């Protein structure tokens, strides 16, 4: 596919598997699921669900910027939480990273996530 571009930035964690941070096709950017890894140390950030969510959205934001956009260009967000009791705390963090109108979104509870984190978020943005 000749209009497919791989997006990569050192401002977000390197992939920990066989995937790209993001792929841009046309004006759509598909950002891989981000977990709360510090991009410099590649370790999970310390703290509660809010601290983890802040790091996840910082990672997503860095990738969106590398693709020529921002999180406010998001059209779809998929949240995976290991505990839906964290739903309200994550909503509070999310509101600090997005402006209205908010993107479409799904939120599911999962049994486990990589590196035993509590949250993973992926995004689709239009730039």
- CATH number, domain containing residue 45: 3.30.1330.40
Instruction: Examine the residue annotation and report whether 109 is marked as an active-site residue of this protein.
Output: no
The helix (run of H) or strand (run of E) holding residue 25 is strand 22-25
User: What is the rounded average pLDDT for all residues in the chain?
Assistant: 97
The number of folded domains in the chain is: 1
Token couple for 96: 């600090």
Measured CA distances, 57 to 3, 5, 82, 122 (Å): 27, 22, 17, 9
Mean pLDDT, range 104-123, rounded to an integer? 98
Please pick, among 107, 113, 125, 127, the residue that the annotation labels catalytic: 107
Confidence at 36, pLDDT banded by 50, 70, 90: very high
pLDDT (0 to 100) of residue 1: 65
Confidence at 2, pLDDT banded by 50, 70, 90: confident
Mean pLDDT, range 113-122, rounded to an integer? 98
| Residues 125 and 28 sit within 8 Å (Cβ to Cβ) | yes
Q: What is the pTM of this model?
A: 0.96
Determine the structural domain holding residue 36 and report its residue range. 4-126
């Amino acid at each position: 596919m000749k209009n497919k571009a791989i997006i990569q930035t050192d401002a977000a964690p390197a992939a920990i598997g066989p995937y790209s941070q993001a792929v841009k096709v046309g004006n759509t950017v598909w950002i891989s699921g981000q977990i709360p890894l510090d991009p410099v140390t590649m370790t999970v950030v310390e703290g509660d669900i809010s601290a983890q969510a802040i790091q996840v959205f910082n990672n997503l934001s860095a990738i969106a910027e590398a693709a020529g956009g921002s999180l406010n260009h998001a059209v779809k967000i998929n949240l995976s939480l290991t505990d839906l009791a964290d739903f309200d705390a994550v909503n509070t963090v999310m509101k600090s990273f997005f402006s209205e109108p908010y993107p479409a979104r799904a939120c599911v509870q999962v049994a486990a996530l990589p590196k035993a984190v509590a949250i993973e978020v992926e995004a689709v943005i239009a730039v």
